[in-house]
């Protein structure tokens, strides 16, 4: 479901004159309020151990439940991408990030509660303090390290993560 079909009333004045303005906004013809549909920021981490194996997660929740993923998640209000990365890795893995290097970003569409949410997914290469004590938590079902030669990008359920894995591994 797209934003333009979800909202029928202006969030400012309550008018039913809330209509599509263009491909990225809606406008109230009563009070003039314009609502822009901007991408939500999200982060993802490539974490390799001392053997050069990539940490992969199995998703515990929809969308793409049961498929492979990278650890990460949405950036909260008043949080930088780097802060979100550290928080998400702590929540999902119990990991303490030692170093994080920005790699690239990719657009994505994330389906949540039937709504198509545009996202901008920001990918980092990370090292963590202790690789042996990582544990799956939050919305991660399980974790494993995989040799890069065994990683198949088609096994990753989210479009941007699949493309990010292709870029990172060349597979």
Residue 3 has pLDDT above 90, yes or no: no
**Reduced to 3 states, what is the DSSP secondary structure of residue 28?**
strand
Residues in Cβ contact with 49 at an 8 Å cutoff, skipping those fewer than 6 apart: 55, 131, 145
Domain residue ranges of the chain, discontinuous segments joined by +: 3-36, 40-169
pLDDT at 75: 98
H or E stretch including 6?
helix 3-6
Please say whether the beta carbons of 55 and 71 come within 8 A. yes
Query: Which token pair is 92?
Result: 């999902």
pLDDT at 37: 86
The model's pTM is: 0.91
Residue 1 has pLDDT above 70, yes or no: no
Beta-strand ranges (E) seen in 12-96 are 18-22, 25-28, 34-36, 40-47, 54-59, 68-69, 72-74
Residues in Cβ contact with 132 at an 8 Å cutoff, skipping those fewer than 6 apart: none
Of 112 and 42, the structure prediction assigns the larger pLDDT to: 42
Query: Which token pair is 9?
Result: 């009333």
Query: Which token pair is 160?
Result: 């941007």
51-67 pLDDT per residue, tens: 999 999 999 999 999 99
CATH class, domain 40-169, is: alpha beta
99-115 pLDDT per residue, tens: 999 999 999 999 888 88
């Amino acid at each position: 479901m797209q934003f333009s079909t979800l909202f029928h009333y202006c969030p400012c004045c309550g008018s039913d004159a809330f209509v599509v303005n263009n491909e990225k906004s809606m406008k109230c013809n009563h009070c003039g309020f314009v609502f822009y549909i901007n991408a939500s920021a999200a982060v993802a981490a490539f974490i390799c151990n001392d053997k050069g194996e990539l940490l992969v997660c199995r998703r515990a929740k929809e969308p793409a439940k049961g498929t492979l993923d990278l650890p990460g998640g949405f950036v909260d209000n008043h949080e930088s991408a780097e802060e979100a990365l550290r928080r998400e890795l702590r929540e999902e893995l119990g990991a303490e990030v030692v170093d994080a290097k920005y790699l690239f970003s990719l657009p994505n569409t994330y389906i949540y509660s039937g709504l198509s949410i545009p996202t901008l997914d920001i990918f980092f290469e990370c090292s963590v303090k202790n690789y042996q004590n990582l544990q799956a938590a939050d919305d991660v079902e399980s974790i494993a390290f995989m040799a890069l030669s065994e990683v198949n990008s088609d096994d990753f359920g989210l479009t941007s993560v699949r493309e990010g894995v292709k870029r990172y591994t060349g597979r």
